Structure formats: structure tokens, C-alpha cells
Chains A and B, each alone.
Chain A
Amino acid sequence: MQVIQLLVTGLAVGSIYALVALGFVLVYTAVNVVNFAQGDFSMVAAFFMVSLVVSAHLPYALGFVVSVILAGVAGYLFQLGVYQPVKNRPRNFLPVMIATVGGSIFLQHLFLILYGPVPLQLPSVFSQQTVDLGGVHVYPQYLLIIVVTAVMVALLNWFFERTKLGKQMQATAQDPTTARLMGINTARMNALTFALSTALGGLAGILVAPVYMVTTTMGSLIGLKAFAASIVGGFSSVKGAIIGGLAIGIIETFGGTYISGAYRDAFAFIVLVLFLIFRPYGLFGEKVSQKV
């Protein structure tokens, strides 16, 4: 029974990493840079959620939706202030990367000023501590995380496979010059990609907040592990990000229980190092990942 409990926990934690990793991958495939502030939008949205639901007493579901949207808006502003000014630099990978690291530090300290250093608590929408599923005791919050993530992945799949806008975003990622020649506003597509990615990160932050505390640095560790998950998945594949995220979540949950609780956070990085040595292109990445 413990195995199933751990599996639920692992899948829930992994879902969080998968959502954030999706953000990494979407931005990377669209504009070929890694947004190192991706994890921080989980923190941003969690604070919004605390303000809206705990302080302003908004209904939980409404606060949830508004916080996710606000994380998307924050991501839009972020690309406007951080990505756009440096995107046309020669060899733009490095300037953009450094700019996003700077953006990450800025966000953490902005929220430190706004909310102070004391960790805040976001209650779960469920009043019960655990539910009993045929002898298996699981946290309902974990089930919520898994269900919401699954729904989100299905929605994303529909958006990218079934809508013209989704296809235009893909076209922009695959060949921006030709996309412009077709009349696609690629700057808008890229802004939308940032907003979507940070909204996904925000969703992850709100879902995980009741499990941990809401702190200004909560996004760093989530971001790092999601980064590891993206590498495991190949960094350019949506499927890879999801499977990589779930794999990291399950490995660290089982490793933390059966091998060493003290090293729980280390397992993601052990997996990352092993992948970088033996399979740097990840599970689903192409062997030659260098774009021309």
C-alpha cells in the first residue's frame, strides 16, 4: 500500500515539475533561449493567490483562475522588459540568458519587499487531511494536482493541435522568417509563448503552495528541478517535459523514502548529471540539437 501512496505523491510532485518544465520547453522551442526565471513565476502566482484568497477573501476557484492569468500577464511584461531589449544582440543566447537570471533575482527581491521574509501559508481547498481510497491514504491536494495537470495537458494538446493560433505558434517556432512572410506576427506569438509558459508555472505554484510554504525562494528549487526534468525529456519535446517531470517526481519521492530522506532534493540532480554524461540529448531529444 505504501508503494501506491508514494506513487501518488511522486506523480503529484512530478506534475508540478512537468508544468514548469513545459514552460521551459515552450519558450526554448519558440525563441531558442532558456528562461531562468521560469520557476519564479510559480512563486509570483502563489503570492497572488495568498493575497486574493487569504487577504481579500475571494472564492478559491476565482482566486485560482485570476492568479494563473496574472502569472501570464507577469510573463508578458517580463518578456517585454527582459527579453525584448536584448533579443537582437549578436549571439543572443548569452545576453538573454543573463537577462533572465537578472529578472529572476529582481522578481525574488521585489516579492521580498512586497510580502516580507516570513513564509505565508495557503490553505488547501480540501478540509480533510487525507482521503481513504480502499486502504490507501492520500492527500486530496495531491489528487487535485494530478487531475488539474492532466486536464491542462489535454487543453494544451487541443490548443496546439486543433487551433490555428496554436499552429501559428508552432510555425513561428519552426521557422520565424517564413512565418513572418506568411503574415504571422511573430513578436506577438513569442509574447504569447512567454505568457503561456509563465501561466503554466503559476498554475504549478498555486497547486503546490498548500503542500509547502509560500516563500520568495520557493520558485528556485521548483525551477531547478523542472530544468532537470526538461533536460531528461530532451528540452525540445512537450512529451519529454511531461515524462521528464513525472520521472523526476517519482524518483525523488521513492529515493527520499527508501534511500535517504536527507538527500531527497539531490536525486533530481543526480539524474540530471547521469543524463548529461550518458544521454545529453535526453529521452526524446534529437541527437543533433544544435540549430543552424
Chain B
Amino acid sequence: MLKVHHIESRYGEVVGLHDISLEVNEGEIVALLGVNGAGKSTTLKTISGLLHPTKGTIEYLGERIDRLPPETIVRKGIVHVPEGRRIFPGLTVKENLIMGTSNRKVSKAEVEQGIERVLTIFPDLKRLMNQLGWSLSGGQQQMLAIGRGLMANPKILMLDEPSLGLAPVIVKQVFQTIREINEQGVTVLLVEQNASMSLRIAHRAYLLETGRVVRTDTAANLLADDAVRTTLLTAHGRG
């Protein structure tokens, strides 16, 4: 479905990604794991079009997308939920959700339907609908960020550090929800520092180190591997 082929990405002069190749198949949850600075977020930014690769190609459903701007890519169904939630602080929860439909023409009925769907996944948002984004807690913001991503009707949902800064009990809920969303047919590309939780819900994973893929395998194999445990799971403890 999505094929990333030997991409290099830069922030000005600084090389963020050296050589990343990965593939996401329909219906999967794929995790990108690695410590801070490994290039996980940069990979997502390059796929969603916020950065353009300086080398390599990105193909989505057989079409090259690595030169397209983000607003075009999101129209194709690749939806990037950025790190740090990035809720619009001055808009209400409902308005934030509606902004998620900006990638296509929608009728009022479709918007209402989308909101209903999000509320079945995140019932807690229901009583917050008219609150402004800045007034939400971290966990509520994360639910809203994922919900807003779902409003875009994604084929691939890319989540960047959805568990960052959340209380452990909320983290569990978030991962549970990601699995539910996947079971509804949405392909998920997940970037996480919390490797153990990610590997429990993912089908496959890529391990990134300083802008390179150093290993890829099924989640079960990686979870069973002691070497992976020591590099990632302890690193997570620090983060």
C-alpha cells in the first residue's frame, strides 16, 4: 500500500534520515521504534509531505507522492496525527473535529456521521464538545487528536508518539483504541518510544537508529528477542 524506498531527508543542512526503506500493507499496524533522534518523526513528516526527501521515493497505491504538498497527500487518505497532539487551542473540540474533514468536500450529514463514529470510540469527548482545545488535559487532547485524524477518513493513519506524556492507565486505553481503529479497517503506521506496548498491538515493526533502519521483523519475534529488549525497552525507561 505504502512503499518508502531508500529515502534521505534533511532539515536544511542537517541530515535527519540517511536511508529508510519500509513498507506498509493494507490492514496492518506497523510500528517504527527507536530512541529519541532515530528519525521516527522525520520519517512520518517525509511521508505526509511536510518534508520532501532529498533522495529516494515514496509510493502510495502505485503513485509517487514524494513531491506533493501535505494538503494534497492528506486528500489521498494518508493522515498524519503529529507529535504533541497539536490541537487548535482556540477552537472547540467539535470545531477541531470538523477541521479534520478539511481534506475533502463533505455534507453536514457526513460530518455528523463522522462525529458519531469518533464519539463511539471516544465517548469521553461527548461532554467536552463545546470546550476550547487548550482547556483539555493531555489524555483528552490525545483522544481529540486521534479523533480529528479519523474525521479525515484515513486509509493510513500515522500516529506520532500518541502515548507521550500520558498517565500509564491512559496509555493503555490509547493503545487499546489504536487496535480497535485498526480492526475497523484503518491501516496504522505508529511511531512510539513505548516499544513494549507498541509491539503488543503491532503486526510488524522497524527499528530505527540514527536515520537508518537497523532491523525489521514481526512484532512477536522482536518482542521475544533479548537484544531488542535491552536496546529499546530500557531506552524507553529513560524517555
Q: Identify which of A168, A174, A182 contacts B152 (C-beta below 8 A).
A: A182
**Restricting to B56-105, which residues have a CB under 8 Å from any CB of A?**
69-71, 74-75, 79-80, 82, 86, 88-91, 95, 98-100, 102-104
Does residue B46 face the partner (Cβ distance < 8 Å to A)?
A: no
B48 at the interface (CB under 8 A from A): yes
A167 (CB) vs chain B CBs: closest residue: B95
Q: Which of chain A's residues have a CB closer than 8 A to the CB of B148?
A: 182
Whether the pair B69, A175 counts as a contact (CB closer than 8 A) is no
- Whether A170 lies near B50 (C-beta < 8 A) is no
Task: Give A184 to B70 CA distance when docked, in angstroms.
Answer: 9
Q: How far is the CB of A38 from chain B (nearest CB, A)?
A: 23
The smallest C-beta distance from B15 to any residue of chain A, in angstroms, reads: 20
Interface string of A172-216 (1 = CB under 8 A from B): 001101111111111000000000000000000000000000000
Indicate if A89 sits at the interface (CB-CB under 8 A): no
Contacts of B89 in A (CB 8 A): 174-175
Best-buried of B98, B99, B100, B104 by chain A (most CB within 10 Å): B99
- Name the one of B79, B82, B90, B102 contacting A184, with C-beta atoms under 8 angstroms: B102
A44 within 8 A of B: no
Q: A167-B98, A171-B99, A177-B50 are in contact. Are A184 and B71 (CB under 8 A)?
A: yes
* Contact partners of B102 in chain A: CB under 8 A: 164, 168, 179, 182-184
- Can you name the residue of chain A whose Cβ is closest to the Cβ of B103? A183
Query: When the two chains form the complex, which single residue of B48, B80, B88, B152 contacts A171, counting CB atoms closer than 8 Å?
Result: B88
B86 engages A178 (CB within 8 Å): yes
State the main secondary structure of chain A at its contact with B.
helix
Interface residues on A, range: 10 to 19
Return chain A residues, CB-CB under 8 Å to B70.
Answer: 180-181
List chain B residues, Cβ under 8 A from A175: 86, 88-89
Asked if B91 and A181 make an inter-chain contact with CB atoms under 8 angstroms apart, the answer reads no
Which residue from A164, A174, A181, A186 sits with its C-beta under 8 Å from B80? A181
Within the complex, what minimum Cβ distance (angstroms) separates A100 from chain B? 25
Closest Cβ neighbor of B49 among chain A residues: A180
Measured CA separation A186–B99 after assembly (Å): 13
Nearest CB in chain A to that of B75: its residue = A183
A175, B89: Cα distance in complex, Å: 9
Question: Which of B50, B71, B86, B98 has a CB less than 8 Å from the CB of A183?
Answer: B71
**Nearest A residue to B108, CB-CB:** A164
Give chain B residues whose Cβ lies under 8 Å from the Cβ of A171: 88, 91, 99
Q: Are B69 and A180 in contact (CB under 8 A)?
A: yes
Residue of A nearest to B134 (CB): A174
Given A175-B86, A177-B50, answer yes or no on A182-B91 (Cβ-Cβ < 8 Å).
no
In the complex with contacts A182-B102, A183-B103, A170-B90 CB distance below 8 A: yes
Known: A167-B95, A167-B99. Contact between A180 and B88, CB under 8 A? no
Question: CB-CB contacts of B21-65 with A at 8 A, as 1s and 0s?
Answer: 000000000000000000000000000101000000000000000
Q: Of A167, A170, A185, which is within 8 A of B71 by CB?
A: A185
Q: How far is the CB of B141 from chain A (nearest CB, A)?
A: 12
Q: What are the 9 tightest A-B residue pairs by CB atom distance, in nearest-first order?
A: A183-B103, A178-B86, A183-B102, A183-B74, A180-B70, A182-B102, A184-B102, A174-B88, A171-B88
- A–B Cβ pairs within 8 angstroms, 11 of them: A167-B91, A171-B91, A175-B88, A178-B82, A179-B102, A181-B80, A182-B74, A182-B103, A183-B103, A184-B71, A184-B102
Q: Which residues of B contact A (CB under 8 A)?
A: 48, 50, 69-71, 74-75, 79-80, 82, 86, 88-91, 95, 98-100, 102-104, 148, 152
